Amino acid sequence: MSFSSFIVQVLNGLAGASSLFLVAAGLSLIFGVTRIVNFAHGSLYMLGIYVAYSLTESVGGGLGFWPAVLLSAIAVGVLGAVVEVLLLRRIYHAPELFQLLATFALVLVIKDAALWIWGPEELLGPRAPGLAGSVSILGRQFPSYDLFLIVVGPVVLGSLWLLLTRTRWGTLVRAATQDREMVGALGVNQAWLFTAVFALGALLAGLGGALQLPREPANLELDLHTIGAAFVVVVVGGMGSIPGAYVAALLIAELKALCIWLGVVEVFGFTISFSKLTLVVEFLVMAVVLVVRPWGLMGRPQAPSRHAGTVEAPLRPVDNLFKAGAALLLLVLTVLPALTTQTPYVTVLMIDLLIAALFATSLHFIMGPAGMHSFGHAAYFGLGAYAAALLVRSLQLPMELTLVVAPLVAAAGALVVGWFSVRLSGVYLAMLTLAFAQIAWAIVYQWDTVTGGSNGLTGVWPSAWLADKAAYYYLTLVLVILSMLWLKRCLYAPFGYAMRAGRDSPLRADAVGIDVKRMQWVAFVIAGLFAGVAGALFAFSKGSISPESLHVGKSVDGLVMVLLGGLQTLTGGAVGAVTFTWLHDTVARNTEYWKAMLGAIILILVLLFPQGIAGFVRQIIYGKRDEIGGRA
Amino acid sequence: MSLLRVSGLGKSFGGVKAVDGIDFELNAGELLALIGPNGAGKSTTFNMVNGQLRADVGSIRFNGTELVGLKPREIWRLGVGRTFQIAQTFSSLTVVENVQMALISADRKLFSMWRPAASHKRAEALELLAQVGMAGQADRPCSVLAYGDVKRVELAIALANDPKLLLMDEPTAGMAPKERNELMALTKELVVQRNMAVLFTEHSMDVVFAYADRMIVLARGRLIAEGKPNEIRDHPKVQEVYFGSGKTFEKDKMALKVAT
Amino acid sequence: MMGRTTLAAAVITTCVAAMPAAGYAQNVIKIGEVNSYKAQPAFLEPYKKGMELALDEINAAGGVNGKKLELITRDDNANPGDAVRVAEELVSREKVDVLTGTFLSHIGLALTDFARQKKFFFLAAEPLTDKIVWDNGNRYTFRLRPSTYMQVAMLVPEAAALKKKRWALVYPNYEYGQSAVATFKKLLKAAQPDVEFVTEQAPPLGKVDAGSVVQALADARPDAIFNVLFGADLLKFVREGNTRGLFQGREVVSLLTGEPEYMDPLKDEAPNGWIVTGYPWYGIQTPEHKAFVTAYQAKFKDYPRLGSVVGYSAIKSLAEGIKKAKSTDTEKLVAAFKGLQVDTPFGKITYRAEDHQSTMGAYVGRTKNEDGKGVMVNYRYLDGAKFLPAAAEVKKLRPAD
């Protein structure tokens, strides 16, 4: 660990920062102006590298590399514009965050499309002509292409800065980042501004991908591997701040290089592997930055969006029609195992559906009424599941007792994370919950002796009297129904109203004596508790538990369920969960390209039901009543 | 003893004194207008009284309790209601639920997770809505109301914990002249009925001169005049710093004549 | 009442019996297969082809015990929770007779435990983790592919023969990488007590910062490197290593790198002289392998990967086992698999009675960059049986049935 090796690692970090910055810059632009959480940004990056690969292959390498990089970026930019015009533009007026669902579907479609077009194998591109070799720096061979990348980052940063500060278009973009309604009021065609921004963002993602061609192979994992880091950079830098994105990219890339440089270190007799820390270092940075600076390093407080979609309709007392429907559903659920003895899989699937419904309902509880968009809700599901597994395996607690204790562990986790998170709002809150969830995931993934590490824990089966699937189904049914009824009751109670009040108008809430942050904190803990119930039920239904249960993928599934069902409808979480899980099961069984199929179905649902499925049904049945405001 | 006593109140932003040691008092049953040109320190003063801003120096005593350092919600619990320049209501609640929300909070039932909120003191909430003339729309979503009606609902919310002092920030901003007079007449009526005090800021001079019992005038963070509308109208300092050339003043006087 | 029920039952039975599918179902043996097809397509597409080839051959020859084999595959979404659900579905709805498949270790373990709990036969085809047959081993689970331990054990004698003192280690940061490195350290230390492990790098799976990692390894000035990276990580690592001169004058011992799945994408970056485990399909001259390659190429117009061999051998193993058991009854299958001998493209393998691990081996050789393409040279087949602990030791590693 000499000083010269440190210097070269700093250079490595600079090259890494440039790569990271290019993806993040586009995401930050899109995020800042359109408020779209563009999950597909990583997919656009991935397409950039694939397209560049094909172009260089077709022109036979050599000097064709450079035009291929540019053409690839442009192609991805055009695709971005098409996506914006054909898809996103139609759903800007949907409730907040709904566009996330559309971009999630795009991720699925693009991934399968790439598999279909380019096949499953990793595709290693050519080295860049003229920059194929290395130069000697401090006695080490340093790739000349990395030197080029070190320059590219600041050059793109400078160009973007000029574009944003020296052109009329740039002024509009900056204005829209601060207050997008204002730009609309100024008579600027907001639609085309959004299209242009989305196209530019996509182009930058494509460029970022294409420029990586000499450094890494095009492969189908790039989308998800990229998107997480890119979001972290955007948020750490401050949403909408391009220089902030560069600073954040630099910070994270250098910290990673530093960790790798340190390698395995002995401190006070403990062996610390800094190399292993690279698994989660960006999320640690994000957690620290957001706790200290709630709007990122160079961001500003988010202007409250005044016309963020449609206003939620007031809660109405449950009417007889709904009661009759619920009673019928409950009856069907009760007799289901008896009706399906010939097809016992129905019971198995129903257990999964019920657990998913409770998980999504617990997330809906804070996302909808309290307006807190948690991107890390799987943490509490996973905590509940792991707590259940550990209590049964290590402490030999009776399984029935763990169903009570495990949710409390999840709630305790939510208590800690909630304390930090409710100080923030909007996307920053979402990203802080994600950071904590990923840190929890990394701990579970690494702590072999306790959590079983990446393999997880097995042998988590229920007590003998529940071994039969039908018995376990009834246990799940009772717990899930009771939980959901209580959550619903809670939303109709003063606490639920106070959450909605705090979301609708924090100022007014404060002026009538409501401590909004405290309400949110309590809501966060309640949501964590019930996610923990779902997690514990899940663990015993599967007999094993693995880090996936608290990974960001699970959190995203939760978001997708809630948005699909309808953020503004009480039953939205449950309806979305059942739809998504059932679709997933059916489509995956019957289709080879099931990801694309699932994505396409979600896209159709997105376009048909911008209020979510439950929201749509509600509108059909109760639309008139909501409008005139009669008490039904 | 006066209901509200502000003394030596001051606040700076980045070295600039926005409010520089002002004193005033407010008695029960009185409508006190806080006026002054843009940048005079009206909003800063107002927000220090309601707790959104914390005063650097000075004291605000309400019924003998020091308000400096308290949060808005704590000040509300002492019996200080408020309305906002841009009306703040809960758009996903119905009109009556908006009022019930304040009643629930006043009864310290916010963390109740069992009994339905919609049945909490509904009659009382309807009564408050009747006072502001909104009982007929009680079950409509707040988001579909006309702006003038939203302002009335806000007033009903503010009255829910039976405040002794009502703080109104630009109560008639964004309203048509007819609505303005109706809202202020209503306010005046409520003040008389409830022996409540009102402190309000206002841009519209016709409203101020028609409804304020007394007014205080700020300029560059200092209090330059205080008195009844007649006294203020003829106050030389006010003429000088506030009304400038006097044209606005003349116009307002005309408007006032038309209105009366 | 009773009469009506009986009548209804009779009607239903008649209808069911009349359906051709049901009649057909009586004459097939259903193999339920669970795998991460969408998450690991590079390995699993050839694997699936291998299974299909075996299926065709077996059914063309009249099937097993007079019944045709039917394969039902399911995608587990690379998630153990989903894997258990689709396993339940295969068992309860499709009424499969046996379960097989899985690629990722944690999913393999989840199904291993599922098999134990449900007392259902499971042949883990590919997952490498040692735990499937040792720590978590159980009566109902067998495993085909050579484990992490076996593959590392095959490389250690080669590594010891290099007589290099300073070793650097690089591996993906999850169980497979960790246990490969732990085994390597333990076995090499035993074979060569003066060995020194000078640095360890454990980048996250799929996200190696290759430049920094390569430089950190080089700065530790090792004499030799043990690599466990694979897939996209390996490609990045090799390209950076080549550019930065990491491999100049250093021996590299690398797990799985000789498999076409991982070697072929390297193209002209393919390293020279690495000691690897792998599958040199282009050079194996045994008759059973030649027959396999010919049939495979004829059917798919593509060359086989290691996955093809695993998929092919998994189906062959199940067919042999069912034939030996003369039944698909779980207990009879378990008994039949103990000591079962199967002919595979790699020759005869045996499922050991003591730990349910097959003795399938691997090819160990040196890599060579031949005209811009990586191949294995000087390779030989190492029989897995020689790299497994003895029965007494296994007994300590494995819980009692």
Asked if B48 and B61 touch (Cβ cutoff 8 Å), the reply is no
User: Would you give the DSSP letter of residue A314?
Assistant: P
Find where tokens 């059932």 sit.
A582
User: Is residue A2's pLDDT more than 90?
Assistant: no
Distance CA C216, CA C236 (A): 15
User: Would you give the DSSP letter of residue B260?
Assistant: -
pLDDT, greater one: A427 or A287: A287
pLDDT over 90 percentage in chain B:
66
10 Å CB burial of residue A591 (0-12, 13-18, 19+) is middle
B206 assigned to some structural domain: yes
User: Is residue B253's pLDDT more than 80?
Assistant: no
Is A340 an interface residue toward C (CB < 8 Å)? no
B119 assigned to some structural domain: no
Distance CA A352, CA A340 (A): 16
Distance CA C45, CA A355 (A): 32
List the structure tokens of A122: 């990793």
Task: Indicate yes or no: CB of A455 within 8 angstroms of CB of C131.
Answer: yes
Quote the pLDDT of residue A302: 67
Task: Indicate yes or no: CB of A279 within 8 angstroms of CB of C173.
Answer: yes
Distance CA A511, CA A456 (A): 49
| A389-398: long-range contacts, CB 8 A cutoff, minimum separation 24 | A389/A457, A389/A460, A389/A539, A389/A545, A390/A450, A390/A451, A390/A457, A392/A460, A393/A457, A393/A459, A393/A460, A398/A463
Inter-CA distances, A502 with A365, A517, A592, B86, C177, Å = 14, 8, 46, 17, 49
Quote the pLDDT of residue B59: 94
Quote the pLDDT of residue B206: 85
Distance CA B105, CA C102 (A): 57
List the structure tokens of B158: 């503010």
Using DSSP bridges, classify how beta strands B65-66 and C374-382 pair: parallel, antiparallel or unpaired.
unpaired
Closest Cβ–Cβ partner in A314, A510, A627 for B97: A314
Chains with 3+ CB–CB pairs under 8 A to A are B, C
- Calculate mean pLDDT across residues A465-473: 92
pLDDT, greater one: C270 or A612: C270
Quote the pLDDT of residue C317: 96
Quote the pLDDT of residue A316: 84
> Shortest CA distance to B126 belongs to which of B151, B159, B150?
B159
Find where tokens 């997919």 sit.
A43
Amino acid at B99: V
pLDDT over 70 percentage in chain C:
94
User: Would you give the DSSP letter of residue C138?
Assistant: -
pLDDT, greater one: A79 or C7: A79
Q: Which among A14, A260, A469, A583 is the top mutation candidate for probing chain C, defined by the most C β-carbons within 10 Å of its own β-carbon?
A: A260
Quote the pLDDT of residue C302: 95
Domains of chain A (ranges, CATH numbers): 3-262 (no CATH), 320-628 (1.10.3470)
B155 assigned to some structural domain: no
Question: What are the strands, taking DSSP E only, across A231-298?
Answer: 264-267, 270-273
> Shortest CA distance to A419 belongs to which of A506, A569, A350, A520?
A520
User: Is residue A287's pLDDT more than 60?
Assistant: yes
B17 assigned to some structural domain: yes
Which domain covers residue B242, as residue numbers?
A: 1-76+197-260
Assign C5 a pLDDT band (cuts: 50, 70, 90): very low
Count of CA atoms in the C-beta half-sphere (13 A) of A230: 32
Quote the pLDDT of residue B49: 94
pLDDT, greater one: C18 or C224: C224
Task: Indicate yes or no: CB of C113 within 8 angstroms of CB of A544.
Answer: yes
Inter-CA distances, B110 with A527, B103, B157, C24, C133, Å = 17, 10, 16, 65, 57
Is A514 an interface residue toward B (CB < 8 Å)? yes
B8 assigned to some structural domain: yes
List the structure tokens of A240: 């909408």
Quote the pLDDT of residue B239: 75
User: Is residue C6's pLDDT more than 60?
Assistant: no
Asked if C328 and C97 touch (Cβ cutoff 8 Å), the reply is yes
Partners of residue B167 on adjacent β-strands: B82, B199
List the structure tokens of A289: 């930055």
Q: Give the least confident one: A149-163, A248-262, B246-260.
A: B246-260
Task: Indicate yes or no: CB of A515 within 8 angstroms of CB of B73.
Answer: yes
| Closest CA in chain B for residue A311 | B92
Q: Give the distance from residue B98's alpha carbon to the nearest chain A alpha carbon, in angstroms.
A: 8
List the structure tokens of A284: 């640690």
Distance CA A75, CA A52 (A): 10
pLDDT, greater one: A83 or A427: A83
Chains B and A touch (3+ CB pairs under 8 A): yes
> Shortest CA distance to A625 belongs to which of A415, A181, A316?
A316
Quote the pLDDT of residue B245: 46
Inter-CA distances, B74 with A447, A512, B59, Å = 46, 9, 16
Partners of residue C200 on adjacent β-strands: C169
User: Is residue C60's pLDDT more than 60?
Assistant: yes
Q: Which among A458, A548, A551, A557 is the top mutation candidate for probing chain C, defined by the most C β-carbons within 10 Å of its own β-carbon?
A: A458
Quote the pLDDT of residue A62: 67
- The string of pLDDT tens digits covering residues C93-152 is 999 999 999 999 999 999 999 999 999 999 999 999 999 999 999 999 999 999 999 999
Distance CA A89, CA A197 (A): 13
C396 Cβ neighbours under 8 A, 6+ residues apart = none
Distance CA C178, CA A275 (A): 13
> Shortest CA distance to C135 belongs to which of C155, C156, C116, C154?
C116
- Calculate mean pLDDT across residues A478-495: 95
Distance CA A601, CA A606 (A): 9
Model ipTM value: 0.92
B169 assigned to some structural domain: no
- Calculate mean pLDDT across residues A234-243: 90
Asked if B168 and B137 touch (Cβ cutoff 8 Å), the reply is no
Quote the pLDDT of residue B244: 58
- Calculate mean pLDDT across residues C307-329: 95
Chains C and A touch (3+ CB pairs under 8 A): yes
Q: Give the least confident one: A255-269, A484-498, C322-336.
A: A255-269
Closest Cβ–Cβ partner in B94, B97, B110 for A519: B110
Amino acid at B173: A
- CA torsion sign for C265, C269, C275, C281 is positive
Distance CA C279, CA C273 (A): 16
Chains with 3+ CB–CB pairs under 8 A to C are A
CB count in 10 Å sphere of residue B247: 9
- Work out how many domains chain B is built from and give that number: 1
Quote the pLDDT of residue A264: 84
Task: Indicate yes or no: CB of B50 within 8 angstroms of CB of A511.
Answer: yes
Q: Give the least confident one: A608-622, B159-173, B230-244, C259-273.
A: B230-244
User: Is residue A67's pLDDT more than 60?
Assistant: yes
Assign C8 a pLDDT band (cuts: 50, 70, 90): very low
Task: Indicate yes or no: CB of A455 within 8 angstroms of CB of C109.
Answer: yes
List the structure tokens of A561: 């369920």
Contacts with A487 from chain B: Cβ below 8 Å? none
For residue B249, the domain's CATH number is 3.40.50.300
SS3 A383: helix
User: Is residue C4's pLDDT more than 50?
Assistant: no
Closest Cβ–Cβ partner in C38, C84, C129 for A542: C84
Is A273 an interface residue toward C (CB < 8 Å)? yes
C55 φ/ψ angles, rounded to the nearest 5 degrees: -60, -45
Burial C219-235 (b: 16+ CB within 10 A, else e): bbebbbbbbbbbbbbbb
Task: Indicate yes or no: CB of B118 within 8 angstroms of CB of A504.
Answer: no
Quote the pLDDT of residue C265: 94
Closest Cβ–Cβ partner in B73, B118, B141 for A629: B141
User: Is residue B110's pLDDT more than 70?
Assistant: yes
Distance CA B146, CA B178 (A): 14
Asked if B168 and B187 touch (Cβ cutoff 8 Å), the reply is yes
Using DSSP bridges, classify how beta strands A543-545 and B4-13 pair: parallel, antiparallel or unpaired.
unpaired
List the structure tokens of A391: 């209590």
Domains of chain C (ranges, CATH numbers): 21-147+288-355 (3.40.50.2300), 149-283+363-387 (3.40.50.2300)
Distance CA A34, CA A217 (A): 32
Q: Give the distance from residue B45's alpha carbon to the nearest chain A alpha carbon, in angstroms.
A: 17
Chains with 3+ CB–CB pairs under 8 A to B are A
